[in-house]
Chains A and B, each alone.
Chain A
Amino acid sequence: MRLSFLILLLPFAACAAGNDGDAFFREKVRPILSEQCFKCHSHEANKVKGGLVLDSRQGILTGGDTGPAAVPGDPEKSLLIKAIRYEDDDLKMPPNKGDGKKLPDASIAILTEWIKLGAAWPDEPKGQKMTARPRGVITDEDRKWWAIQPMAKPAPPKLGAHPIDSFILEKLNAAGLKPAPPAAPEQLARRIYFDLIGLPPTPEQTIRFTQAAKADSARAVAELTDELLASPRYGERWARHWLDVARYAESDGYRADEYRPTAWHYRDYVVRAFNSDKPYDRFVQEQLAGDELWPGDADATTATGFLRHGSYEYNNRDVVEQWTTILNELTDVTGDVFLGLGMQCARCHDHKFDPILQKDYFRLRAFFAPLSWVDDRDAATAAQREEYAAKLKTWEEKTTDIRAQIEAIEQPARERSRKSAIEKFPEDVQAMMLKPDGTRTPYEQQLHELAFRQVYFEWARLLTHVKGDDKDRLVRLQKELSAFDADKPLPLPLVPSAADVGPVAPPIRVPKRDSLGDIEPGFPTILDETPAKLTPLTNSTGRRSALAKWLTNPENPLSARVIVNRAWQYHFGHGLAANASDFGKLGDIPSHPELLDWLARRFVADGWSLKKLHRLIVTSATYQQAAAGTQVATAAKAAATIDPENKLFWRYPTRRLDAEQVRDAILATTGELDLDQTGPSAGADKPRRTIYTKIMRNTRDSLLDVFDMPEGFQSTAQRNSTTTSTQALTLFNGTWILARAKALAARVIRESSSDEAERAATAMRVAWGREPSRDEITGARKFIAAQSALIDAREPEMKPVTLNTDKMPFREGRGVVLTSGSMERLVMKNSPSFPDGDFTIEAFIVLNSLYPDSQVRTIASHWDGSKAHPGWTFGVTGKQSRYKPRTLVLLLNGQGTLGKDSEAVFSALNLEVGKPYYVAASVHLADRHDGITFYAKDLSNDDLPVQIVTVAHNTVAGIRGDGDFTLGARGTKGHVWDGIIDDVRLSRVALPAEALLLNSGQQLHEATVGYWKFESSSGIYSDSSPRGNNIEARIAQSKPADPRAAAFVDFCHVLLNSNEFLYLD
């Protein structure tokens, strides 16, 4: 593909200036003021210097601290002219320091002429700022914008051994600053580990590095860098940076916030790409156009997930608007991520400050105009596909008959639900959807596909559209079908991906500007005003390939600069250009433009290798400077007025760890970190690395939230680092962190001698990555002793064991967390108030897993588990259930119509693992024809109806047991719950639907036997009903804690809260 960067070199045909005051001002005067003065002297300036604003005639005539800036008609008396001519040593503008220097004579002449002519300031169109650009025009000034200049080929000044240091020293010398001394080896080890792999070094690793560094520091750094870059942990750290900019999340982000169960394939792809040092140009090409460039390649397919990460509203009937929103989002994110330009400003009008035209926005959007979402592509190998097909064939042959019967029931239901889903759309969309396949225009096909997702949504819950006998038959047939599951191949890994809707793109226009005609794909006009040259493919327009190739052309002035600057920012806390995703004029110009260009060129020459770039940066003295210490403090005094923000890199900054580093470091420190790689995401309660935890857009983990993890709605170029009291509360009082403190104490006790001083020292070594001083050890011992005395003096408390609570998704408040295999039992002593006839049991639950065998995950039971004893139990069937897995079931052990009976009443309501539900069973015991009515409601989607099933039963009496009433287990007989149990209510009657917790605001009524809410406000264990059936958590109550041990846990907890743990030098 040929690029026309040449246009940059063409001289700009300047507009005629002269007597026409307006044009003279607009074309000549304002560009100078705007470019040279506004940074410090306008309403847009961060800080207005000298009280002077030059962005209006009024501002100039009023002047600043030293008086009016101009006397119209008399340049010689105008301070502005004096200043720019450098006539007065105390008033030189722009200041002759940093990047500033005296204006060229031509510019001085223009401003002089302008004031001589009366300093006219033509009115701006209403509503536009003075700095706004004229519409549709690229000016001379625009073409000087640093970001679009071809990358320079600067040679490093000969000032340091390392090219980066040379560039940095040049600026420091010019500013009269000195670099900080090298960081201590321990500090450096901690810095390099956290920076490259996101985890702290172990004490042994620190010692190893420190010793190596004493012998040969440069070599030790180089070797450690290579070792860490080769570690799989590296990709897990740096992929997260990319996920930030790629606005990666695993849920839809609207009301239902539906989980995207296969989104993680993209996350794994990014981790792999970083670990294998995939060249960045290829990485970009795969994400934008993997389907076109490497069809069938698993990585390339997965990479196009980038085009799918935007949020999606599953029930939006306005698909026209929705599709526009989707394409806009993609355009915005592409501008941010790859171009480093704030394209979205140009969606409604020319960018007000940067030379990006409104047309340019739509030229960029046009690359995505033919996009189509693909959900049925797999990331499998050819061999896997073959095996799958063969196995599937066998299964299909064996099940032909059953499937035909199922189809006979399902087909009409599908047809009904399709019809009712389509009818909800506006008529024009309905018409598109009803057209025969193959007759739609590309645009109609896109809207059809988008709208038809709502039909698929209905089909996925087809059982709710089947009624009566058919439903029973269908359940039975599906059960029969599942007998052949062993023959069924495991599904291929399907990944969210993208393609073009066909070889022809739908036309795209700028809204309300039909005069511009159909917009062809193209790049920002200022870079290349011709339309992109396309090579169409059989089923694709080739548009995205053209974009990807243009972006990865080695001479593209933006791409390499943008990614190199991002990497620099992650290494140093701030970039060489301040705004990593917007190189526009509102941001500062880069602090070290030559270094940026040198790095960008080097990066491209190194085969777009990020690992080589990391190595280059980490091995520089600039990176290895100290962040703390007396010498830095001295240096800081010198820099306080010249460069307080450390823009010139005269030291390394002390920075807070980011959310993932905090969580991973805590788990690494306690020794609990699970380094399993890849695969589906885990809950935040699991000790996997944070990059592998589930990212729901609307339900955020409280720890990651308070440490500023991005929401995943927009590309995030740089994270906030905030300090709030909520953060302090979470880290000081939260249940999760307290459990980690215990784990850290246990680890230290396990791994160190019994000497308390040595234990304290070990804990500090692990947490801070350095050898503690003698004073620090003494301080620790004093604290532990004092704390231990406090604990010892405490009155013995009769508090029951503390169970973990967690936020219940889609509900407020907390529920109790039970894990399979745990010993906690939530027990209520038998009481006469417990039901012996009709009853209703209700609960809000999340089930995390099924038993692999036929055991039941128990929600509640009043049974000791012995067939000889009466009782009942309510739960969810296991994988080997004789009925069906995942089914809500009530087991009754009592008197049947024919004598003693023990029966399992299956509801036919299936729960999905990981989803929050309200479930209930309302039992008419004596009158078995009224049956047992089961309820299940998926709380993650308000639009889904409550599922209700009534089932007949045989047991009619005698179900009251003599033992305890238990939540989350079948008495002492196991069948334990795994997940969350929130509000549970037991009633002595068979409640009608309208009286259920789900439907009625009334929480207590006469028949309420117990209502357990697990809220700390009301008491986690207390019964909110007046019967006082409080829970006893009957785990073997640990003996009165060893005060010394408890104090040591407190010590570990303080360490995990300490700034030295949470900040990096």
Chain B
Amino acid sequence: MPCSNFDPLFTRRDFLTRAGGGFGALALSHLLSGTSLGAAIADKNPLAPKKPHFMPKAKSVIFLFMEGGPSHIDSFDPKPLLNKLAGQKIPESFGKVITAMGEFNSPLLASKRQWKQHGQGGLWISDWLPHTAECADDIAVVRSCVADGINHSTGVCQMNTGSILAGRPSLGSWVNYGLGSENQNLPSFVVMQDNPASVVNGPRNWGSGFMPAVYQGTRIESGSEPIQFLHNPDGITAEQQRGKLDFLKTLNSHHAESRLNSELEARIASYELAFRMQAEAPDAVDISKETEDTRSLYGMDRKETAKFGGMCLLARRLVERGVRFVQLYSGAGSKWDAHSKIESNHGKLFGETDRPVAGLLRDLKQRGLLDETLVVWGGEFGRTPMSEKGDGRDHNPTGFTMWMAGGGVKGGQTIGATDELGLRAVEDRLHVHDFHATILYLLGIENLKLTYRYKGRPENPTLNEGEAYRKIAG
């Protein structure tokens, strides 16, 4: 019989060499449960690059999360009937849904947008997004998204983890687990947000749930200390720090010599990695090296777009460096949640994001990165055709829009449809699980085959459901 491929215990030196200062360690069984993900599985570095299930179209993902739920019927999904019936109650033929604030019986609210078709594909995009509209032929708009959570907490949780209930790994963690990272000196799953408010549910949105913490997302900020505790503490010089590190390494190496636990070596390596990160991360986030043209492409020269533009530019710099999954929150703390005054609310937020997002798509394209970078746009749900407080809209998870661009996606196409008022998805419905499966598919991962053993059971990113919408690749 062939011998087991279990690494013997006495390979610490080998491990250090092979893993290039490996990032972490965990029970080998966790790694092996990654099923058929390539030969790298034997490598004990949990973030070593791994082979996908099949030829991927995208290498990395930039997920633009409009937190709070942007209105699809004012952006990508025009509904002429809505303006005709404005002020009336929704006709009974549309059926009932439960809404978060109980606004089902409120009068329908007209959309004040001007609509035009854009690009060769004739995508309908409203006047809130003039710059995104110019990239219409790179974008595939999915108008038929469906989610289960009617509130922000459940919605944001599901759009991140597949489940409305907390406790599962986020999509970025699954991708990290499945594919590893191309750059061991930077976090492979990075999260940024546009303002200091807490994203709904907090950091667990990018947590690794029941998987080891090594797969979780890392918050970074622009500025001199992008990662918490990245810098030497106040009053400690570089030499002093190095002196401590060297002494620690001596102690730990001595300790590891007579012990059988590969974690001990991994821990030694983690300190070295932390300090390589200290060197590389500030450079990665230093956008001062970008040209004026590039900065203005992202809207960094304008007050309203400077913040999100900077984040989009950073996202490009990170995927360029092999970071696998970048998530940007616009409106962190549910700012897109326009229960009232949707005109001023969405007007402002689209104003802050439209130019940067278009700049990102253009910049990725001109650098030849768009083909391998999947850009995803959307929130946790859309908004109701019914009004709230006279000039706002309630949450709508039963039919809403997300879009994807790059990463093998065929642009200029519209997928699926909602009913005539935009209340429910009626054609080619893509549940969050299907949407996640589609993202994974573009990355070369078959959603049900990416499994992780938890409590003895094989878990997967889409909770045993979800089918990739392969036609999105044309």
Residues of A within 8 A of B (CB): 43-44, 46-47, 49-51, 65, 91, 95, 253-255, 257, 311, 313, 315-318, 325, 329, 336, 342, 345, 423-426, 578-579, 581-582, 584, 586-587, 627-630, 632-633, 636-637, 640-641, 644-645, 651, 653-656, 697-700, 702, 705-706, 708, 711, 713-714, 716-717, 720-730, 732-735, 738, 779, 783, 786-787, 790-791, 794, 797, 799, 802, 809-813, 939, 942, 983, 1001, 1015-1018, 1050-1051, 1053-1054, 1057-1060, 1062-1063, 1065
Nearest CB of chain A from residue B396's CB, rounded to whole Å: 14
> In the complex, what residues of B have CB within 8 A of residue A939's CB?
197-198
Query: Which residues 1-51 of B sit at the A interface, judged by CB distance below 8 A?
Result: 1-6, 8-10, 23-29, 32-33, 35
- Asked if B93 is at the interface (CB within 8 A of a chain A CB), the reply is no
User: Is the Cβ of B456 less than 8 Å from the Cβ of A729?
Assistant: no
CA distance A316 to B284 in the complex (A): 42
- Interface residues, chain B, with chain A CB atoms under 8 Å away: 1-6, 8-10, 23-29, 32-33, 35, 96, 98-102, 104, 150-154, 165-167, 187, 193, 195-198, 200-204, 207, 209-214, 218-219, 221, 223-225, 227-235, 237, 239-240, 243-245, 247-248, 250-252, 255-256, 258-261, 263-264, 266-268, 270-271, 273-274, 277, 307, 332-334, 453, 455-458
Q: Which of A632, A723, A812 contacts B193, CB < 8 Å?
A: A812
- Given A636-B10, A733-B232, 19 other A-B contacts at CB below 8 A? A44-B458, A47-B6, A255-B200, A342-B455, A424-B101, A584-B457, A628-B260, A640-B8, A697-B204, A724-B24, A725-B273, A733-B229, A790-B243, A799-B235, A802-B234, A802-B235, A810-B202, A939-B197, A1016-B224
Report chain B residues within 8 Å CB of A311. 165-166
What are the residues of chain B within 8 A of A1017 when measuring CB–CB? 221, 223-225
Q: With A729-B227, A791-B240 known to touch, is A723 a contact of B209 (CB < 8 Å)? A: no
B267 x A640 contact (CB < 8 A): no
Looking at the complex, which one of B98, B153, B197, B237 makes contact with A811 (CB distance below 8 Å)?
A: B197
Chain A residues with Cβ below 8 Å from B165 are 311, 325, 329, 713
A717 and B455 contact, Cβ closer than 8 Å, known pairs A640-B10, A727-B270: yes
Q: Are the CB atoms of A698 and B202 closer together than 8 Å?
A: yes
Which chain B positions have C-beta within 8 A of A257? 201-202
Taking a contact as CB atoms under 8 Å apart, the answer to whether A641 and B3 are in contact is yes
Chain A: CB-nearest residue to B210: A714
A498 to chain B, nearest CB (A): 20
Q: How far is the CA of A794 from the CA of B234 in the complex (A)?
A: 13
Nearest chain B residue, comparing its CB with the CB of A584: B456
Tell me if A790 and B197 are in contact (CB < 8 A): no
Residues of B within 8 A of A1053 (CB): 244
10 A–B contact pairs at CB < 8 A?
A: A317-B100, A637-B10, A655-B261, A720-B211, A723-B214, A733-B233, A811-B198, A942-B334, A1058-B248, A1058-B252
Q: Known contacts being A714-B210, A812-B196, is A724 close to B270, with CB within 8 Å?
A: yes
Residues of A close to B150: CB separation below 8 A: 316-318
Given the known inter-chain contacts A629-B258, A721-B263, please indicate yes or no for A732 contacting B271, CB distance below 8 A.
Answer: yes
Residue picked from A342, A630, A700, A1017, most chain B C-beta under 10 Å? A1017
Given contacts A424-B101, A734-B229, is CB(A636)–CB(B9) below 8 Å? Answer: yes
- Do B274 and A729 touch (CB < 8 A)? yes
Between A653, A714, A1059, the greatest number of chain B beta carbons within 10 A of the residue's beta carbon is seen for: A1059
Closest beta carbon of chain A to B195's beta carbon, Å: 7
| Given A633-B260, A653-B261, A708-B212, A579 contacting B9 (CB threshold 8 A) | no
Chain B neighbourhood of A1059, CB < 8 A: 251-252, 255-256, 264, 267-268
Residues on A with C-beta less than 8 A from B101 are: 317, 424
Chain B residues with CB under 8 A of A1001: 195, 307
A1040 vs chain B, min Cβ distance (A):
11
Residue contact A317 to B274, C-beta cutoff 8 Å: no
Docked Cα-Cα span, A316 to B274, in Å, equals 42
A345, A423, A651, A720: the one contacting B102 at CB < 8 Å is A423
Chain A residue numbers with a CB within 8 Å of B233 are: 733, 735, 738
* B97 to A: closest C-beta gap in Å: 9
* CA–CA, A790 and B240, complex, Å: 6
Also in contact, A254 and B154, with CB within 8 A (given A47-B4, A721-B263, A1058-B248): yes
User: Are A1018 and B455 in contact, with the CB atoms below 8 A?
Assistant: no
B209: chain A residues within 8 A (beta carbon): 711
Q: Is A51 a contact of B2 with CB atoms below 8 Å?
A: yes
Nearest residue (CB) in B for A90 is: B1
Q: A654-B264, A723-B24 are in contact. Are A1054 and B244 (CB under 8 A)?
A: yes
In the bound complex, CA of A727 to CA of B214 (Å)? 10
A723 in contact with B98 given A644-B6, A697-B166, A787-B243 (CB within 8 Å): no
Nearest residue (CB) in A for B164 is: A325
Please indicate which of the listed interface residues B1, B230, B273, B277 has the most CB atoms of chain A within 10 Å of its own CB: B1
- Expressed in whole angstroms, the minimum distance between the Cβ of B306 and any Cβ of chain A is 10
A44, A311, A724, most chain B CB atoms within 10 A: A724
Report yes or no: B9 in contact with A644, Cβ–Cβ below 8 A: yes
Q: Which A residue's beta carbon lies closest to that of B186? A: A725
Residues of B within 8 A of A255 (CB): 151-153, 200-201
Across the two chains, which residue of chain A brings its CB closest to B251? A1058
- In the complex, the chain B residue whose C-beta lies closest to that of A729 is B229
Contact B153 A724 (CB under 8 A): no
Cα-based distance from A1059 to B268 in the complex (angstroms): 9
A-side interface mostly: loop
Whether A720 pairs with B229 at a CB distance below 8 angstroms is no
Interchain CB contact under 8 A, B167 and A711:
yes
Q: How far is the CB of A647 from chain B (nearest CB, A)?
A: 11
Contacts of A1058 in B (CB 8 A): 248, 251-252, 255
Cα(A329)–Cα(B166), bound, Å: 11
Residue of B nearest to A325 (CB): B165
A713-B167, A790-B240 known; A579+B102 contact, CB < 8 A: no
| Contact residue among A586, A699, A721 (Cβ-Cβ distance under 8 Å from B202) | A699
Residues of the B chain whose Cβ atoms lie less than 8 Å from the Cβ of A586? 453, 456-458
Min CB distance B92 to A, Å, is 13
Residue numbers in A under 8 Å from B252 (CB-CB): 1058-1060
Identity of the chain A residue whose Cβ is nearest the Cβ of B252 in the assembled complex: A1059
Smallest Cβ distance from A450 to chain B, in angstroms? 14
CA distance A794 to B213 in the complex (A): 38
Minimum CB–CB distance for A598 against chain B, Å: 23
Top 6 closest pairs, chain A to chain B, by CB: A579-B456, A1017-B223, A713-B167, A424-B102, A255-B153, A582-B456
With both chains docked as a complex, state the minimum distance between the C-beta of A86 and any C-beta of chain B, in angstroms.
14
Kindly list chain A residues whose C-beta atoms are within 8 Å of the C-beta of B277. Answer: 725, 729
Residues of B within 8 A of A723 (CB): 23-25, 214, 263, 266-267, 270
Q: Which of A654, A724, A783, A794 contacts B260 (CB 8 A)?
A: A654
Task: Quote the shortest CB–CB distance from B308 to chain A (angstroms).
Answer: 11
Contacts of B8 in A (CB 8 A): 640-641, 644
Q: State the CA gap A65–B2 with chains docked (Å).
A: 8
Are B1 and A722 neighbours in the complex by a CB distance under 8 Å?
no
| B5 cross-chain contacts in A, Cβ below 8 A | 47
Residues A654 and B240 in contact in the complex (CB < 8 Å), given A724-B270, A729-B227: no
Smallest CB–CB gap between B260 and chain A, Å? 5
User: In the bound complex, do residue B213 and residue A1060 qualify as a contact, i.e. CB atoms below 8 Å apart?
Assistant: no
Q: Which residues of A contact B219 (CB under 8 A)?
A: 812
Assess the B213–A722 pair: CB atoms within 8 A.
yes
Chain A CB within 10 Å — which of B195, B332, B456 has the most?
B456
Whether B214 contacts A724 by the Cβ 8 Å rule is yes
Contact of B240 among A329, A637, A713, A787 (CB under 8 A): A787
Shortest distance between the CB of A427 and any CB in chain B (Å): 9
Q: Which residues of A contact B211 (CB under 8 A)?
A: 720
Known interface pairs A640-B9, A644-B9, A732-B271; A1065-B259 also in contact (CB < 8 Å) = yes
Whether A254 contacts B201 by the Cβ 8 Å rule is yes
Q: Which residues of A contact B212 (CB under 8 A)?
A: 708, 720, 722
Task: Give, as a whole number of angstroms, the nearest-CB distance from B243 to chain A.
Answer: 5
Per a CB cutoff under 8 Å, which of A46, A655, A791, A1057 touches B32?
A: A46
Minimal beta-carbon separation of B149 from chain A (angstroms): 9
